[in-house]
């Protein structure tokens, strides 16, 4: 198998993988957005807790 055949085979696989996208629809986007917001809320609450602790310890700049 030559490099050109490998590249064309990879291109065929990737092209055929796009046929799955209409089946998924926007559900994947919604899941990613929800995970992002949950992560944001977690990070902000964690940061607030650490900032409060740093202020109490006198290490807050």
pLDDT at 28: 87
Question: Number of folded domains in the chain?
Answer: 1
For residue 13, is it within any domain?
A: no
For residue 47, is it within any domain?
A: yes
> Does the global pTM surpass 0.85?
no
Range of the domain at 58: 24-61
Above 90 in pLDDT, residue 23?
Answer: no
Give the tokens for residue 30: 């919604």
For residue 10, is it within any domain?
A: no
| Contact in structure between 60 and 54 (CB atoms under 8 Å) | yes
For residue 46, is it within any domain?
A: yes
For residue 2, is it within any domain?
A: no
For residue 5, is it within any domain?
A: no
For residue 12, is it within any domain?
A: no
Which CA distances in Å does 45 have to 28, 33, 39, 55?
26, 18, 10, 15
Can you tell me which residue has the tokens 């065929």?
12
Above 90 in pLDDT, residue 60?
Answer: no
pLDDT at 17: 87
């Amino acid at each position: 198998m030559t490099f050109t055949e490998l590249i064309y085979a990879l291109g065929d696989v990737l092209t055929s993988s796009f046929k799955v996208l209409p089946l998924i629809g926007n559900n994947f986007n919604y899941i990613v957005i929800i995970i992002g917001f949950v992560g944001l809320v977690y990070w902000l609450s964690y940061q607030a807790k650490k900032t409060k602790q740093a202020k109490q310890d006198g290490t807050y700049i």
